[in-house]
């Protein structure tokens, strides 16, 4: 089978894959529209691969790489993030390209050793170190805790392309197109809020630190590890502004009412509160019965709207279990 390969910029190719079978991301968060695992190949004098994909898709992944490179070897693998959906194919990649050098920061090196027993052919970089590939230069920015300790980003100044790791990522497979100009981005923005609230929401301060570090960089392309490649200025501005807003815990006017109700009484109270809020001019009101709504969607709405009311009956002299779980998740995200 011949795979259509997308050239994002001169010498920069998308070689990622779609996962349309997984039901839960991290075995927690629903994926009704799937998810993509994005990987990028820079075919220069020296060849660099940016992140890998989930091991379940290594064969398709290898065919995509070969369709670009043929028998040309890969010189470097840049590991922006060690989570297994991005690092899972590293050992497989080493078997295909035994001379490859793996690039990451000191925390990446610890994880490579601990996860995969890899200690040879590695190169530890520091913040703002650079590596020349030929026409393209890789500049590395350490951006820890977005959302793991080792996370970093890689920037190519010649094409103003940012490989951002999980930052600016979103749920949803890439259906047909890869670049935002080939897709309808509206649904991805909604899923970006859900992704942020589920995965990154705890780490507002590290996100702010990363945005400050990137503030002086001219960015024309954003290549995340999940979701579309962002190339249109309007969309890039929107993506960055959205992350800035969410990481400051800023929200729109609106109200989320999350409740648990065994026999309908707490639900009736929630209905009364919602009606009163509407009478007082609040138009964006979202009600969540925690026994029916997935916590993923509740968290997304909590990050969207300023107001939050939680209602719970007692259960064994404690909170209703679904409410207790929600409150724990909110506290974990500093809400």
Domains and CATH numbers, the chain: 6-247 (3.60.15.10), 252-332 (3.40.50.360)
Residue with tokens 């995969």: 116
pLDDT in tens, 223-245: 999 999 999 999 999 999 999 99
Report field, pTM of the whole predicted structure over 0.75: yes
Q: Judge whether residue 3 has pLDDT over 90.
A: no
191 closest CA partner among 173, 171, 169: 171
pLDDT at 29 over 60: yes
Alpha-carbon distance 94 to 102, whole Å? Answer: 9
Element (H, E) at 63: helix 58-69
Mean of pLDDT values over 276-288: 98
Would you place residue 199 in the very low, low, confident or very high pLDDT band (cuts 50, 70, 90)?
very high
- Tell me what pLDDT residue 20 has: 97
Look up residue 152 and give its two tokens.
């970093």
pLDDT over 90 at 179, yes or no: yes
Indicate the SS3 state at residue 155: strand
Q: Are 125 and 56 in contact (CB under 8 A)?
A: no
Looking at residue 1, its pLDDT comes to: 54
Once rounded to an integer, what is the mean pLDDT over residues 69-84? 98
Could you give the dihedral angle defined by the CA atoms of residues 308, 314, 319 and 320, in that order, rounded to the nearest 10 degrees? -80
Tell me: pLDDT of 203 over 80: yes
- Alpha-carbon distance 232 to 182, whole Å? 11
Q: Output the pLDDT for position 186.
A: 92
What pLDDT, on the 0 to 100 scale, is given for residue 5? 82
What is the spatial distance between Cα 156 and Cα 221, in angstroms, rounded to a whole number?
Answer: 10
Given a cut of 80, whether residue 262 has pLDDT beyond it is yes
Judged against a pLDDT cut of 60, whether residue 101 lies above it is answered with: yes
Please give the average per-residue pLDDT across 270-281, as a whole number: 99
The answer, yes or no, to whether residue 169 has pLDDT greater than 60, is yes
pLDDT greater than 70 at residue 89: yes
């Amino acid at each position: 089978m011949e795979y259509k390969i997308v050239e994002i910029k001169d010498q920069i190719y998308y070689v990622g894959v779609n996962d349309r079978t997984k039901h839960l991301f991290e075995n927690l968060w629903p994926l009704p529209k799937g998810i993509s695992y994005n990987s990028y190949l820079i075919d220069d004098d020296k060849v660099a691969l940016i992140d890998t994909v989930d091991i379940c898709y290594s064969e398709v992944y290898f065919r995509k790489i070969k369709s670009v490179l043929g028998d040309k070897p890969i010189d470097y693998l840049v590991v922006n993030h060690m989570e297994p959906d991005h690092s899972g194919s590293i050992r497989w990649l080493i078997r295909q390209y035994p001379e490859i050098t793996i690039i990451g920061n000191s925390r990446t090196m610890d994880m490579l050793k601990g996860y995969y027993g890899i200690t040879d052919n590695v190169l530890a970089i520091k913040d703002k170190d650079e590596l020349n590939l030929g026409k393209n230069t890789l500049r590395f920015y350490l951006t820890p805790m977005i959302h793991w300790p080792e996370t970093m980003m890689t920037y190519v100044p010649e094409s103003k392309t940012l490989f951002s790791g999980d930052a600016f990522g979103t749920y949803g497979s890439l259906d047909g197109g890869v670049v935002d100009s080939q897709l309808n981005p509206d649904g991805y923005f909604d899923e970006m809020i859900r992704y942020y609230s589920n995965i990154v929401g705890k780490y507002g301060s590290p996100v702010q630190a990363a945005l400050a570090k990137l503030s002086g960089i001219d960015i024309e392309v954003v290549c995340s590890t999940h979701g579309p490649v962002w190339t249109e200025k309007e969309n890039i501005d929107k993506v960055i502004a959205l992350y800035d807003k969410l990481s400051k815990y800023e929200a729109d006017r609106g109200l989320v009412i999350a409740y648990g109700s065994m026999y309908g009484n707490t639900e009736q109270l929630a209905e009364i509160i919602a009606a009163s809020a509407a009478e007082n001019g609040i138009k964006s009101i979202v009600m969540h019965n925690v026994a029916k709504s997935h916590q993923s969607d509740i968290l997304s709405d909590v990050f969207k709207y300023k107001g939050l009311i939680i209602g719970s009956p007692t259960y064994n002299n404690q909170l209703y279990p679904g409410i207790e779980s929600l409150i724990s998740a909110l506290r974990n995200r500093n809400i």
